[in-house]
Amino acid sequence: MSLAGFLDSPADAGAVRAVVADRTRMVEVVLDADTDIDLLAEVAWALDERAWLLNVIVALNRLGDAHTALRGTPCTLQGWWFDDDSVRFTDFERP
């Protein structure tokens, strides 16, 4: 679903697609190369107020930028990359 369908979010962040897992109260966002990472800081705080977690899945080449943009926010980051025909993920990281 889009973030706008789940919570009031900044207009630009509202279009970002997310996976919402009710049981674990986690929202996962997979960032594409064009999405501004800074948009998710406000989303992280809004979800935290509702006792939900945010996990941002970001390509490995943007993981450093995500750490910088989201430092101090209540979320986790998870880098991903291609390895032959597979997609690999880092462990959860705190920005």
Quick: pLDDT tens for 40-89: 998 999 999 999 999 999 999 999 999 999 999 999 999 999 999 999 99
pLDDT of 11 > 80? The answer is no
Q: pTM of the prediction? A: 0.89
Q: Are 55 and 27 in contact (CB under 8 A)?
A: yes
| CA angle (61, 1, 3) in 5-degree steps | 70
By three-state DSSP, how is residue 95 classified? coil
Q: How confident is the model at residue 91 (pLDDT cuts 50, 70, 90)?
A: very high
What is the C-alpha to C-alpha distance for residues 6 and 17, in angstroms, rounded to an integer?
Answer: 10
* Residue type for position 88: R
Question: Which residues fall within 8 angstroms of residue 17, CB to CB, at 6 or more apart?
Answer: 1, 2, 3, 29, 30
Look at residue 2 in the predicted model and tell me its pLDDT. Answer: 81
Look at residue 70 in the predicted model and tell me its pLDDT. Answer: 97
